[in-house]
Structure 1
Amino acid sequence: MTKIADTSGQDVVREAPRRSYWKLIVSASVLVVLIAVTLPIVNRWAKAEVSVPQDRLRIATVVQGDLVRDLSIQGRVIAAISPTLYSPAEGTVTYHVDAGDEVTLGQLLVSIDSPELQSRLEQEQASLDSAAVALERQHIQTRKAKLETQRDIDMAKVTYVAAEREKRRADDAWAAQAVSQIDYEKAQDDLETARLIYDHAVADAELEADTQVFELQTRELEVNRQQALVADLQRQVDALNILSPVNGLVGNRELDQKNQVARNQAVLSVVDLSAFEVEIAIPETYADDLAIGMAAEINYSGQTYAAQLISISPEIRDNQVVGNVRFTDGMPPALRQNQRLTTRVILDQKNNVLSVNRGQFLESGGGRIAYVVRDGIATRTTIETGVTSLSSVEILSGLTAGDQIIVSNIEPFGNAETVRITN
């Protein structure tokens, strides 16, 4: 009987492997550590009230350093010196320059033909000539009156001397009993009469001299008054030729050539190219923070120029305050009036303070709420903010350097204490 072969001959007896208990211990330890690490995170995630995708958030880091509070505004270049010239009298205007022409100081720009003013000048000049002639006549009259009074004094003195001589003769005759008493007394009367006439002649001469001095002063005052009137009219006539007050460019011509112009009507403007300023319109909210003398920076063609705030309007228009900024270390070349330039006004600077990038969380949280991000969870935190700049906000309390917070809008979080950030 034939035996059927089987596979027993191929079987191999092997020993059962021994268990590696140390590997089990290591695996168990790792598992415990992972559970200990992840359990708090899982708990926080489980307790999170709101879940927000990370790509919808903007997160910034709190840093410690210098904070510059500034204000960036688009300004308009204006001429610091841009006088408008006016007609001094009514007449016909004649322009000697066109708009845009370069002019120099003292150059003739406009002539005003005013026949009325020219006629007044000629009339007053004639009156001045007449007053001058009257003054010269008064000088002659004064000298003549002086001669006449001197003549009267001399004649009275001669009469007085003759009366004295007759009196001495009468005294001698009276002593010799050679003259009657009546003749002697008559000689005395004649002497007294001559003395009185002489004294009155001297007094009249002094009074006449005072009168002539007064008359002469009156004529001189009349001439001086007329000279002042003529000088003023001459000034007005000279002002009919309007000269350039600065070196620069001719602005707008307000009238057409040979048009009639009224008194004090604008005829021309001139722009001084050597002095430009930047006019800025500042939002009303910054009005209380502005002060004359604040430092500023003006950006032109990629370069920054130092400047200074020199004036602030006392009134608010259209929720804006107008100010002027002047270059302090030289102006950039090729500036043009009404050109737009970016101006940065430095309102305040604080050193070594906590700050974070500015964002919508300021408005939505009222500057008192921030969400601090740690391990994918944003926790609601009460903060206190200080001054703000265009890009940063000062943190007074509630945060420390290195904290990361959500700076985007936090209104979607409502009053949630924790927010889970997902990928």
Structure 2
Amino acid sequence: MIRDTSSQDRVMQSAPTRSPRWTWIAILVLIVLAVLSVRSWLSSAGAVNSERLRLGTVSRGDLVRDVLANGQVVAANSPTLYAGYSGTVALKVQAGQKVGRGAVLAEIDSPSLNNEFEREQSSLEQLEVEYNRGKILAEKQKLLARRTADERVLALQAAKREAERSQRAYQRGALSEVDYLRYQDAVQSAEILAAHAETDAKLEARSADFELKTKQQNLERQRLMVADLARRVDELKVRAPADAVVGSLAIVDRTVVAAGAPLLTLVDLSELAVDVSVPESYADDLAPGLMAEMQINGQTYRGEVAAISPEVINNQVLARLRFVDAMPAGLRQNQRVTSRLLFETRQNVLLLPRGPSLDAAGGRFAYRLDGELAERVRIELGATSVNSVEVVSGLQIGDRVVISGADLFADAERVTVTE
């Protein structure tokens, strides 16, 4: 016969009956949890998928307050050359042509100025001849006056000798007193004439020097006039002030222009700068010397603010940046450049990634994520940078905040975020 399984069976004791009090407690806990879950669901405005949101975590670090600005490369030195005098202009260059410093770019034909220069040059040559002749005449006048003075000295010596002989003859009784006195008077007369001749020689020399100096001053004045006219004639040739490229021509060849008319524009490619447009809200923070970073061909170059426009155009302020280090090679005028202006650095502050949801509420509210519930909390933001914003109050380190997509919440106080 087939043996059954009775030998394998074992008698089990039944579990003791649970107290009804614990059963009611368990039921009450389940009811409370269900009520809280339903209450949380009812208090939220609805559910939003987390894939439609972008979250940021509050951290601590250094905040560099900056702003991005788009700009373009411009020539820091781009002078426009003007006609100094009226006349017919002959252009020597074409637009886009490279020229060296001092190269003749255009030449102005001014017959009146050329005639005046030649006329004054002839007058200068005439005055030089008159000055040289005056020098000869002055020397002759001095020599003549000196000869007369020397002759008077010789006459005085002769009169003195005659007076000495007359004195000896008078003492010996060979000469009358009247003749003796006449010789003495001749000596006195010769002394007077000699003294006047010496004085006259000095006066003649001074007079000759004055006349010669007057001729010399006239000559110098004429030389200055001719030098000024030579400079003006040389300015008829319009020269390049530096190594540059001819940007644009304001006239066509052989055009008659008036004095002060623009002729052409040069572009000095050795001195390039970057003009950037900064939002008007940052105008008070702009100042000459402010540091900046410029992204050019994938590399970062240091710069600084060199000049700021005094006016606001289309809610933008124009600022000019110059390179602090060596200027990068291969730059082209009007090339687009992305710049970053560095205003200040705040160390050891609470940081939150920047997002449109923070800006939408004016920086006063944010949605903090607690588990599956996003709660609207009041916050206070401080300085902002391109990528981050400073958290002054309302959030702590490690808090997860909705920085993008909060417009789906419709300003609700609580929203459920689902996976």
Task: State whether TM-score is above 0.5.
Answer: yes
Match for 1:249: what amino acid? V
Residue 292 of structure 1 pairs with residue 288 of structure 2 = yes
Residue 367 of structure 1 pairs with residue 363 of structure 2 = yes
Match for 1:256: what amino acid? V
192, 195, 217: which one pairs with 1:196?
192
Residue 344 of structure 1 pairs with residue 340 of structure 2 = yes
1:75 positional shift: 0.5
Q: Secondary structure at the match of 1:407?
A: strand
What are the residue-to-residue correspondences of 1:9-408 with 2, within 5 Å?
A: 18-19=14-15, 42-48=38-44, 50-51=45-46, 53-54=48-49, 58-407=54-403
The 1:171/1:358 distance shift into structure 2, 3 A limit, reads: same
1:257 positional shift: 0.7
Q: Secondary structure at the match of 2:283?
A: helix
After TM superposition, the structure 1 stretch with the greater mean CA deviation from structure 2, 171-180 or 119-128, is 171-180
| TM-score (norm. length: structure 1) | 0.85
Alignment check: 8 A CA contact 1:365 1:411 kept: no
Supply the distance in 1 between the matched residues of 2:33 and 2:299 (Cα, whole angstroms). 54
1:38 positional shift: 6.7
**CA RMSD between the two structures:** 3.1
Residue number in structure 1 paired with 2:414: 419
Supply the distance in 2 between the matched residues of 1:188 and 1:411 (Cα, whole angstroms). 136
Match for 2:415: what amino acid? R
Supply the distance in 1 between the matched residues of 2:405 and 2:185 (Cα, whole angstroms). 129
The 1:335/1:31 distance shift into structure 2, 3 A limit, reads: farther
The 1:245/1:26 distance shift into structure 2, 3 A limit, reads: farther
Q: Secondary structure at the match of 1:226?
A: helix
Supply the distance in 2 between the matched residues of 1:354 and 1:348 (Cα, whole angstroms). 16
User: What are the Cα deviations for residues 308-359 of structure 1, in whole angstroms up to 9, with x where unaligned?
Assistant: 2222234444433221112334344432212222122222222332111234
1:197 positional shift: 0.8
Paired positions, count? 406
Supply the distance in 2 between the matched residues of 1:184 and 1:316 (Cα, whole angstroms). 111
Q: Secondary structure at the match of 2:84?
A: coil
Match for 2:318: what amino acid? V
Alignment check: 8 A CA contact 1:371 1:405 kept: yes
1:253 positional shift: 1.0
Supply the distance in 2 between the matched residues of 1:179 and 1:39 (Cα, whole angstroms). 172
After TM superposition, the structure 1 stretch with the greater mean CA deviation from structure 2, 312-321 or 292-301, is 312-321
Q: Secondary structure at the match of 2:332?
A: coil
User: What are the Cα deviations for residues 291-320 of structure 1, in whole angstroms up to 9, with x where unaligned?
Assistant: 322322222333333322222234444433
1:252 positional shift: 0.7
1:76 positional shift: 1.6
User: What are the Cα deviations for residues 13-50 of structure 1, in whole angstroms up to 9, with x where unaligned?
Assistant: xx99945868x9999998787777776555444445x4
Match for 2:230: what amino acid? Q
The 1:261/1:178 distance shift into structure 2, 3 A limit, reads: same
The 1:393/1:106 distance shift into structure 2, 3 A limit, reads: same
| TM-score (norm. length: structure 2) | 0.86
Q: Secondary structure at the match of 1:135?
A: helix
Where structure 1 has 5 or more consecutive residues not aligned to the other structure, the ranges are 1-14
